[in-house]
Amino acid sequence: MQIVSDLKKLHIGKVIDNVIMKNYTTYRVGGKAICMVIPDDEDCLIVLLKYLNKNKIKYKVLGNGSNVIFNDSGYDGVIIKLSNFNSLKIINNKIIVGAGYMLNKLALRVSRLGLTGMEFATGIPGTVGGAIYMNAGAYKSDMGYIVNSIKVLTPEYEIKTMYNKDLKFHYRTSFLKENNGYICLEATISLIKGNSKEIMDLIEQRKKRRIETQPLEYPSAGSVFRNPDGMFAGKLIEDIGCKGLIKGGAKVSEKHANFIINNGNATGEDIKELIMELKKRVKNKYNIELKVEQEFVE
């Protein structure tokens, strides 16, 4: 394909053609994309984006694929992975970390050092950039509480710093999610000195509870729906008898009704259909419009 050939000639990093998205998402669904590019650095990323925009080729910046649903019919665009943006500096209680660094790995590392504030993130299998993009959170905390600033690439190919107040962090959303032309390159996170034993004990307790209450043994993408104010989406779904509901290879978890699992041979289309069915049933029963936390990539 001409696009793949052109990208390889740019010498901007690794270019993987015939890439199947099911191998890069935690749902383990998704068809073929044009290719995947792993840029070497910021300059290479800019060259890549200029080429894609000039040629009107769509693209998706992908973290760990832990909150996205690709169709099995394929993605007619280029996938960009910032795996090489994985630097890490820890200066007292300040963390400077690349967008491609795994969030749960970072959270465990700083927690073991006795820094508190990232305990919530130890069970979130995304990248730092992806977590900031969607303001990932758990246990009544999220990225908005700990991110001091980020380095972004703007749609005009400028690298600038955005501070917490600029990032419009709200429940499972941020400025980045609402302004897709901006790409997070690096984050500065501020934590507080704590007691490492107490921190690790809390993480261990939460890990045990997750194993007991979530279907971690199956491919999924965590919570499907945001919790409505004062309610739990999983409880609403459970109360209308939808635990175990199946569409093709996708199934509402028997363990936690706000999880959809790939039961072995699900397609992205199966998962989307099941999500829409749950939305419809909850709306019909309670007149509540559930908001999908996960992202459909078209």
> What residues are labeled active site?
172, 223, 293
Q: Please return the burial class of 63, using the count of CB atoms within 10 Å of its CB with bins 0-12, 13-18 and 19+.
A: buried
Alpha carbons within 13 angstroms on the beta-carbon side of residue 58 total 8
Residue 247 backbone phi and psi in degrees, to 5: -130, 110
Q: Which two tokens stand for residue 50?
A: 């200029």
Q: Which two tokens stand for residue 206?
A: 């939460």
Q: How far is Cα 151 from Cα 181, in angstroms, rounded to an integer?
A: 14
Cβ contacts of 276 within 8 Å, gap of 6 or more: none
Nearest-10 Cα torsion for 62, 64, 66, 67: -20
